Structures are given as C-alpha cells and as structure tokens.
Structure 1
C-alpha cells in the first residue's frame, strides 16, 4: 500500500466531547484513500514562525472494505489549549483543506489471526481505530465466531467517544461486549457492563488467556504500559499484544 501526499477537504465536523471534534474529509484530488482499519494519517502544517510540523490521527472511518476503498476520511481531534494543531482545526472552515499523507501503521487486525477472542483496550481518542474496525469485526464474528471485548476508559460519560455507536453495535451483536470504565463519574441508569475506575483495574476480570486471546492497546501511554504488564502477567506472549501509544502534542 503506497504512502501518498494528498489534500483533504473538510465536509463536516461535530463535537464528540467538550474537547474532541469529529472531522469528516474527502480527498480533494478525487482519489480514494485505500487504507486498512487501524492505520493513521499525518496532517502537515506550519507553526507561526514557518517551521514545518505534523500530527498523526488514527482513521475513525467506518467503511465496508469489501466494497472497495471509501471516500470519507474521518478522524477525531483532541483540542489542546494553545496548541498549534488545535488552532489549525478550529479555524478550518467547511470546504477548507489540509495537507495530509499516509496511510501509516500496523495496528490492524491480521488476516492470519486464528484467535477466539479480541481484547480491545483504549482511552480517549485511542478508541478511534476500533470504530474503524467494526465492519471487520462483524465479519469475523459471523465467519468464525470470534468474541470481542472493548474496554474503553473515560473520565466522565460526556467524554465517552462514540459510546452510543459502540453500545448500539454491542446490542446488535451478542459476541461483542462494550465495557466503558469511568474514572470520575458514572452515568445515570448505567448499563450492567459499565465499570468504575480505570481500564487496567478491570482487565483481569476478563481472564486474558494465551490460548485464545489477542489484545490491542491504544491511547494513554500509562494505560498502555500498565495493561501490557497485566497481560504479560496473565501469560499472554508479547506477539499477542499489539500496542499504539498516543502522546499529546501541541
């Protein structure tokens, strides 16, 4: 899959949380972006002094790749006070363009996997790759009965990115379990799968098993490191633990 440079034109945006926006683009050169769910793109821009810089964003696009590469390019952008990338995205009007490159990364579901269960663990915008994976997971659940547990950490209910989508997907698919973990505030009338605390505190509840599981870790580096150690203690070998750390940049 060739890495390309291309212009992205903003089609729509909406707020996912008080400090996270969901941005939908299309390639302004008329070409599709052929990618594998779990990959990311980079957006290139300049600081006020003219220095070139870039930021990485996992693709959140839900697309059925059996139908070919999709048109939409969707990302979730965290707003950082005083951040250069935040200023870029907040100041971008509908129809405006940014310069991007990609796709990059190997944080993807592997065709050769023969596991019985995926443990998907994320915090914040680290959940965006899992949103993009939903069509693939749906196929795997149908074709070989794979089970999926998504443990997603947020501080409060309003910061649970794509929470309604994941809950609707879980309601529709018995093999998919959505377990939101809230560190500061629980929602009213919480679903039975809601937990209080951090994702790493609840990982052992799902009894990670080296014979059946492959785990994905994405988001806050402290969470990734803590869950990585827990999974190793549970006996999962390192090749069955796939990681991507999100480091916040201004």
Structure 2
C-alpha cells in the first residue's frame, strides 16, 4: 500500500466510525425504550411521543459532538463537512422535538379525555419540569429558524452566534426534563447510566475542544501581531509571532479562528497564507466585510487569540505524487501555503490562479521558479472565453495540465468557482478521490 494512501484511509475510517456509533446509539435508545415497555404502556400516540423524544435527544447529542471540533474528527473530516452534517442534523432535532410535543400532547389528551388546548396548559404549568422542556423547545425553534438560509444571510455572524448559544441552554433544560419525567430515567438504572454518560461525554468534548484546549494553547503561545505588509489597496498580510510555535500542530492549508484584543468578541476564519515554520504564523486578508476591513489598519503589538488549527485541506489527503493547485480569488491563501510545503518536498507541481485582481503572485512566481513548477495566472471576468472556450473549462485546463488525471487536485475559491471547477474535473474523468476542496466559511 502506498504510504500517501494511509491518511485518506484514516479519513474514511473516521467517517465510518462516526456513522457506526450514531447507528449503534440509535439501536441502544430503541432497546431501552422497548425494555421500558414503550410499546405496551399507554396508547400509541404517547408511545410515539416518547420514542421521538428519545431520538430527538440522541440527535441533539450528535449535534454537540459535530460542533465540538474534536481534533480526531476535525483533522480527518474537515470542519466544512462536520458543519454541514451539524446543520442537517439540526433540522432533524427540531422536527423530532416538535413531533415529540405533538404526540405526547395528543396522547395525554386522549387518555384524559380532555381538549387538546386544555391539555397543553395542564402539561406546561401543572406537570413537573415540562415548563423547562417548553423553554428548551422554544430555544431550539429560534435556533432552527435563524439557521434557515434566508435568515442566516440577513444576520451578522455575532448575532447568529449569540442565538446559537441558546442551544446549550436548551440541551441542559431538555436533559433536566428527561431526568425528572422520562421513563428511561425514572424506571431504569441502565437507562439513567446510559443517558448520563452520553450527555456527559458530549458536553465534555465541547468543553475540552472548544474551551480548555484553546485556552491552554493561547496561554502557552502568547500570540501577538509582529508585522503588517500591504499587498494591495484592500489586501493586507499579517505576521503573528509567539512562544514555542513549533509545538502548535498547524499545517499548510489549515485555518484558525482569529480574535484580536481590541475586538475580541469577533472571530474570523482566516487560512494560513504561508507554511508554518515554527516561528510565526501568517494570514492574508482582503477587505470583504466590516471585520476584514477593520483588520486592514491593524498595528504590530496587538494581542491575538487563536482557536485551531482547523481543516483537513492538507497534504495528508494526497493519493498521487503529482499535484495541481487551483486557486480562485482570496482562496489563494491556503493554496500559496500548500505550494510552499509541496515545493520543499520536491514534488511535481502545477498551479492555476484565477482572479480579477490576483495577489501574492510575486511570491508564488518566485516559489514556482525555485521548484520548477508550472504557474498560470488566469485573469479577466468569470465568463471570459479563450482559445479553447471558457477559461476554466475542460479544454483550457487540459491544455495547461495535460497529465491532470495523474495528479491530486486541490481547489480553493468562492463556492461558485469551486463547484464549477469540480464539475469540469469530473467531466475530464478525474476521480473524486483525487479532488480535494474545503469551504472555510465555518458558520455558513
């Protein structure tokens, strides 16, 4: 087996293990429900209410694990994939919880022979800990609505993130409700142990990966801005120094969530624009929004808080000895870092940089000449047509890199450009296993 294939097998194994654990826990939850006489006690509506409640709780725990950014999973699967699964599972949580509320209310109303609205009042205000569950449900609905694409586009990240913190309160309130009235807790020691362990491990993963590890690393490395370089009127490169940076497990192609001391409440996902050398970290930022525009005027000496490194867009994904790097716009930053890493390894490299106002081209040209890589800069509008049709179409790519199918291809750029290039590569017959992309908008 080729050594470079081993990391990819690790990524596949991580995905399979995650799916297997979710499936196994679903089986356990169902088994505990059956052992608790879930199919024989009460009527069918109440039983469905209990079962959807258990599945909703399990899906909520899965969400916690996906958003915990556990290094083992994140480094193999990538934050973009984990975030997509987190978003998808979130809607399952919402629908399962709503189904739980509806079935339980209808079931109790049927058993008591009371009107549905009257039963709602009885459950919320006169049943132990149901008010907590009602608040938890309301919080989940708010989080779910704010995560809809239309709402998400209208919200600033800080506001959206603040709303999402309510999901942690919903987890705690829902768990307290489950502890006090859930039959899997009240009547089953095994069920109590299982759910306590499940919630405990999930919350511990969040606390360790999202809080303890970043605090430890920032205390150890004491990051500060050491230099600022202007690349263009709206692009700036920031060099960040600190202590013992050789102990930070960062690789070319990865990114951090950066916070700066005078705007610590804002977290920005910026990729490294140079290969980590153990002495400094470097980011290159274009003014695309309020946060990145503010960063254009940053000065040396500012304290930096960094969470990461994150991302699986690294050399560990490689399956071939030859590499093609394709960058679009500000997606050039991780590509530039990967070019440096592959150049130092003496690899066969080709680079295509697509952009209207390309930056870092002088650096990339210098590296390409040093390692004898083929470097193409494609400028002009996105609908530009050249000698062989569209500039990033199949014939043009084939003309620039005839041996494309024998290479691993790394693509980073705006979503539209990335999707179009992936389609072109598929049309040229490149296997999906040789095409590597990652979306760096962690909140999208």
Q: Please indicate, yes or no, whether the TM-score normalized by the shorter chain is above 0.5.
A: yes
The ranges of structure 1 where at least 4 consecutive aligned residues each deviate by more than 6 angstroms after the TM superposition are 45-48
The 8 Å contact of residues 208 and 234 in structure 1, kept in 2 or not, is answered as no
Tell me which residue corresponds to 2:269: 56
Gaps of 5+ in 2: 1-70, 72-208, 382-387
- CA drift of 1:46 comes to 9.9
Alignment of 1:2-21 (within 5 A): 4-5=214-215, 6=218, 7-21=222-236
Q: 2:320 aligns with which of 79, 90, 115?
A: 115
- CA drift of 1:36 comes to 1.2
Q: Determine the C-alpha separation between the residues in 2 that align with 1:209 and 1:133.
A: 18
Alignment of 1:118-137 (within 5 A): 118-137=323-342
* TM-score, normalised with respect to structure 1: 0.75
- CA drift of 1:114 comes to 4.8
The 8 Å contact of residues 221 and 247 in structure 1, kept in 2 or not, is answered as no
* TM-score, normalised with respect to structure 2: 0.44
- CA drift of 1:135 comes to 4.1
- Cα deviation code 1:214-236 (max 9, x no counterpart): 11110111110000001111111
More helix by share: 2
Q: 2:369 aligns with which of 171, 175, 190?
A: 171
- CA drift of 1:169 comes to 2.0
Aligned residues: 218
Gaps of 5+ in 1: 65-69, 185-194
Change (3 A) 1:62 1:163: same
Q: 1:231 aligns with which of 411, 425, 428?
A: 425
Larger radius of gyration: 2
Tell me which residue corresponds to 2:287: 79
Q: Determine the C-alpha separation between the residues in 2 that align with 1:172 and 1:31.
A: 29
Q: Determine the C-alpha separation between the residues in 2 that align with 1:54 and 1:232.
A: 35
Tell me which residue corresponds to 1:35: 250
Greater RCO structure (CA 8 Å; 6+ sep): 1
Q: Determine the C-alpha separation between the residues in 1 that align with 2:407 and 2:374.
A: 15
- CA drift of 1:197 comes to 7.2
Change (3 A) 1:200 1:63: farther
